[in-house]
Structure 1
Amino acid sequence: METTYSLLTYDHGGAPMVFGAEPQIDVAATDQMVDSLFTGARFVEESDLGGHACPDPWMVGAAVFAAGTPDEVAVLASEEVALDRPSELDQTFLVAARGRTTRLFTMSSRAAFGAFAAWDATGTLQRAVSACGADGILEDLGAPLAFEDTGPDKGEESATRRDFLDPVGLVERALATTVGFAYGRENNCSAVSPGDIPIRLYRVGELRTGMRG
């Protein structure tokens, strides 16, 4: 089954705990986040990350949990974060982090494409990596993180990393390890199913670019 998602998360490091506790959406905080990012935001319906992890154009899925607490976590599903080179994420999204860690996850099993990036609480890029089965390595910035498989592919003369030959698996591990859920092969290692994470769907206009912290 084909799997595609384009997700952005904000948290202080406790996302797996929050997602694992059947969180309830803070509607006001979610509406505020979406309105701060996009023009003309209009609520459409309730959904979940199982069904709307890669919304149609001019649609976004969003949720804020435990708003105003140290455990606050936010998630956004949008084509605006579906980037070949994740380090090029628009500054608008980093301003919206407000002192939280920002993580980007984009994956298409059909295209054998995966991209992951992380920015610290100050908005400084820590890691950006992406690869595609057809095009090879697209981006590789920063030091590899603990969940990455940096070993060479067995049977290959070159030292090509196994991760870069399996970018879908790389992003799935990133998602399961850092925020506590996954969609495909890593799903059975995760305590939380994407379908258990509620979101609100919005029809939106343009991204509010040019924001400053």
Structure 2
Amino acid sequence: MGAKDWMLFYTEGDVRPVLQAAPPLDRAATRSLVERLYPGHRLTEVEDGTLARNTNPADGYVYAACFPGLSIVCTGDVALDRPSTLDRRFLDEAKGRTLYLHAMHSVVDWLAFAVWTGDGRVWRSLSLSPDHGVQENIGPPFAFEAPYWAGEHPVEPDEDEDPYPLPFHPLELAEDVLREWFGFVQEGQAYADDPDLYRVPLAGFLVAAV
């Protein structure tokens, strides 16, 4: 698996239909969103990206989009080993909406995800990797997690490898989280009616402190 991302989704309803519709990007609202999240910073617009290619921007870059009923922010500032410590400014931006965090990195088999209710309460947060184990596990697991914790997705090591230190591969669960929450995957089993992530634009910004 070669996928990695660090992103927030602020939602007022189902994400999948919005992405399937691929509505035009509200550029003014998107810039205002990034300005609110990065006060005291200078924003320099860079070339637009897409949800297919720019979910893991390098440090100093932010890719974001505002659509009807959905806002997306991709930034390394949310790649947290303990998602529940997400900076308050990102939580305050939800303003009654459900907030989802999804982050993963294939090089280290790391997954972190979390969801906050409209009143800002952490409903579920999980972070784990084979090197560091379970670093955070808050709230009741979602139903789609149950087979993983029940041992139904074991990692079979090669003959010369030690047993995998977790009961499942984090990136396998990571793809199921994407499917359940947003209706797409990066490297999992795609379906013919999945949103075309190349048609979902993200505005790019270089963000620098002043």
TM-score for both structures, normalised by structure 2: 0.86
Q: How many angstroms does 1:165 deviate by? A: 2.4
Which stretches in structure 1 are left out of the alignment for 5+ residues? 67-71, 157-161, 207-213
Note if 1:174 corresponds to 2:177.
yes
Quote the residue 2:134 is aligned against. Answer: 137
For 1:153 and 1:196, the matched residues in 2 are separated by 35
Corresponding residue SS for 1:165: coil
**Which stretch of the first structure deviates more once superposed, 33-42 or 72-81?**
33-42
Q: Where does residue 152 of structure 1 map in the other structure?
A: 151
* Conservation of the 8 A alpha-carbon contact between 2:154 and 2:167: no
Alpha-carbon shift at residue 98 of structure 1 (Å)? 1.3
| Mean CA deviation greater in 162-171 or 130-139 | 162-171
Contact 1:6-1:107 at 8 Å conserved across structures:
yes
Structure 2 alignment gaps of length 5 or more: 156-164
Give the match's secondary structure for 1:80: helix
Note the C-alpha offset of 1:190: 6.8
The residue type paired with residue 37 of structure 1 is L
Contact 1:182 1:190 in 2 (8 A): no
Mapped contact 2:65–2:72 kept (Cα < 8 A) = yes
State whether structure 2 residue 128 is matched by structure 1 residue 112: no
SS in 2 for 1:110: helix
- In 1: Cα distance, 2:205 partner to 2:2 partner: 24
Indicate the residue corresponding to 2:92 in structure 1.
95
Per the alignment, do residues 155 and 2 of structure 1 end up closer, same or farther by CA in structure 2, a change over 3 Å counting? Answer: closer
User: What is the DSSP-based 3-state SS (H/G/I as helix, E as strand, rest coil) of the residue aligned with 1:45?
Assistant: strand
2: CA distance, partners of 1:44 / 1:85: 30
* 8 Å contact kept, 1:81–1:104: yes
Shift of residue 86 of structure 1? Answer: 0.9
SS of residue paired to 2:99: strand
Q: Which residue identity lines up with residue 110 of structure 2 in the other structure?
A: F
Number of residue equivalences = 196
What CA distance in whole angstroms lies between the structure 1 residues aligned with 2:181 and 2:56?
A: 19
* Aligned counterparts of 1:163 and 1:99: Cα–Cα separation in 2: 35
**Percent identical across equivalent pairs?**
31
Segments ≥4 residues shifted beyond 2 Å: 152-156, 162-165, 186-190, 193-196
The answer for the alignment partner of 1:44 in structure 2 is 46
Matched, 1:194 2:197: yes
Residue 25 in structure 1 maps to residue 22 in structure 2: no
Q: 1:134 to 1:24 in 2, by over 3 A?
A: same
